[in-house]
């Protein structure tokens, strides 16, 4: 048998963030004092009220199947949340709950894309976007963005990228990995372009509550006339530290919601009953001091990164990542090894400074590195100290290896 596995799975690239996290945890298991700034996971606990709601679901025997779309109570609560917090009007029938926002996104691409369709999204991008689009048989059309626009796609770039094959435009704000937040005027400009084209607009807003110095607003609210093409994706992982509970959702036009429901009924079925019970309580349990904590950490980390030789860093306005440009150290050496890429930089930083990060190549941005500041103040301070020592040891002399 020439190929035991399908082409679609043979072409999947492993998640770089999960790969680095695995290496880091292996070093930690060996007793190495690694500071793990590679993974996108909050370092605080699930809200106590939400955790106990999950426990009560178990002890009360609330462990049966729910409708494939999720419990009516949770869908109603999400509809209320979207109205009161985001100014978006959806019925519970338009809400589909899945096993995490990643699962939600995959279901969307499989449901809306035909073979050969194109999905546009800006780079830097979350590592799973191109893989999910490919699994749906579609083609990723990647718009390269840089620090001059704070890594955000402009209306002119979007207009240039759209073709008759475009099926969807995907926008992640606040963004992983850059922390960039699209402002209302920027969303309005993108909306002007999108009005001229009948394409789906997929909004990944998983980090919506984690914004600093600016207001988070959804394109769905800025451009309500586009509602029939807009899908708003969100979940509980980031704002409520519920990564392991696996709970996400989408608010979609009625025909798309119906399709997503049918797909999910034949794949995973209903999301976890226990997680849904916890999520229902979590919606009323957000702790705003989390934002203050992350903002303080951001300020400390960005200042430290900007002080490093060969590094520039745009200050992120949301999420919990810094995404510095380290191209200024490309070509320098450490102990006879030349840094030829961000991959080399991250490997050496982990090996010699015991600081774990993710190379920007995985996000479509060579010469950059993603650092998560979802770690303690003490760890950030220590990481900065280690990175300074690391950079002080770099030399411009060519490698002899």
| pLDDT at residue 1 in the model | 61
Q: Quick one: pLDDT at residue 400?
A: 45
Name the nearest CA neighbour of 253 among 231, 223, 224.
231
**Residue 55 three-state SS:** helix
Rounded to whole angstroms, the Cα distance separating 186 from 201 reads 15
Q: What is the rounded distance in angstroms from the CA atom of residue 258 to the CA atom of residue 260?
A: 5
* Domain range 7-32+288-391, its CATH number among 3.40.50.300, 3.40.50.720, 3.10.129.10, 3.90.1150.10: 3.90.1150.10
Write the class of the CATH domain 64-282.
alpha beta
Cβ–Cβ under 8 Å, residues 40 and 101 = no
Q: What CA dihedral angle connects 89, 319, 249 and 44, to 10 degrees?
A: -120
Q: Which two tokens stand for residue 169?
A: 């435009």
The tokens describing 346, both together, are: 């991250």
Sequential pLDDT tens for the chain (401 residues): 667 898 888 888 777 666 777 788 888 889 999 999 998 899 999 999 999 999 999 999 999 999 999 999 999 999 999 999 999 999 999 999 999 999 999 999 999 999 999 999 999 999 999 999 999 999 999 999 999 999 999 999 999 999 999 999 999 999 999 999 999 999 999 999 999 999 999 999 999 999 999 999 999 999 999 999 999 999 999 999 999 999 999 999 999 999 999 999 999 999 999 999 999 999 999 999 999 999 999 999 999 999 999 999 999 999 999 999 999 999 999 989 999 999 999 999 999 999 999 999 999 999 999 999 999 999 999 999 999 999 999 987 554 44
Give the domain ranges of the chain: 7-32+288-391, 64-282
- pLDDT score recorded for residue 16: 67
pTM, to two decimals: 0.94
CA distance 183 to 211: 11
Q: In 63-81, which positions are buried (b, 16+ CB within 10 angstroms) versus exposed (e)?
A: eeebebbbbeebbebbbeb
Are 172 and 126 in contact by the 8 Å Cβ rule? The answer is yes
């Amino acid at each position: 048998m020439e190929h035991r596995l399908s082409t679609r799975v043979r072409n999947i690239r492993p998640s770089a963030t999960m790969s680095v996290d695995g290496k880091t945890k292996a070093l930690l298991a060996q007793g190495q004092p690694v500071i793990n700034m590679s993974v996108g996971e909050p370092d605080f606990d699930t809200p106590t009220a939400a955790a106990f709601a999950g426990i009560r679901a178990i002890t009360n025997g609330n462990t049966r199947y729910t409708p494939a779309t999720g419990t009516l109570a949770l869908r109603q609560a999400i509809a209320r949340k979207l109205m009161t917090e985001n100014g978006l009007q959806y019925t519970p029938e338009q809400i589909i709950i899945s096993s995490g926002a990643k699962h939600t996104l995959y279901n969307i691409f499989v449901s809306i894309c035909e073979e050969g369709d194109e999905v546009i999204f800006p780079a830097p991008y979350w590592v799973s976007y191109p893989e999910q689009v490919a699994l749906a048989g579609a083609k990723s059309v990647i718009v390269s963005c840089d620090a001059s626009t704070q890594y955000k796609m402009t209306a002119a770039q979007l207009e240039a990228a759209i073709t008759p094959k475009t099926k969807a435009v995907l926008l992640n704000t606040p963004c992983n990995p850059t922390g960039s937040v699209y402002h209302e005027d920027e969303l309005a400009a993108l909306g002007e372009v999108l009005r001229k084209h009948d394409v789906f607009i997929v909004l990944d807003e998983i980090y919506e509550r984690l914004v600093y110095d600016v207001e988070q607003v959804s394109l769905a609210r800025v451009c309500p006339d586009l509602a029939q093409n807009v899908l708003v994706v969100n979940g509980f992982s980031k704002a409520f530290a519920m990564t392991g509970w696996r709970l996400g959702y989408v608010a979609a036009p009625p025909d798309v919601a119906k399709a997503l429901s049918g797909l999910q009924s034949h794949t995973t079925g209903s999301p976890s009953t226990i997680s849904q019970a916890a999520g229902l309580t979590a919606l009323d349990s957000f702790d705003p001091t989390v934002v203050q904590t992350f903002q303080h950490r951001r300020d400390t980390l960005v200042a430290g990164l900007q002080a490093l030789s060969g590094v520039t860093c745009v200050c992120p306005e949301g999420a919990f990542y810094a995404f510095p440009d380290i191209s200024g150290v490309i070509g320098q050496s450490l102990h006879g090894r030349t840094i030829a890429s961000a991959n080399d930089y991250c490997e050496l930083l982990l090996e010699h400074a015991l600081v774990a990060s993710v190379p920007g190549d995985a996000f479509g941005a060579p010469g950059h590195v993603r650092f998560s500041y979802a770690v303690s103040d003490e760890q950030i301070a220590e990481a900065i100290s280690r990175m300074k020592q690391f950079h002080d040891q770099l030399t411009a002399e060519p490698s002899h290896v």
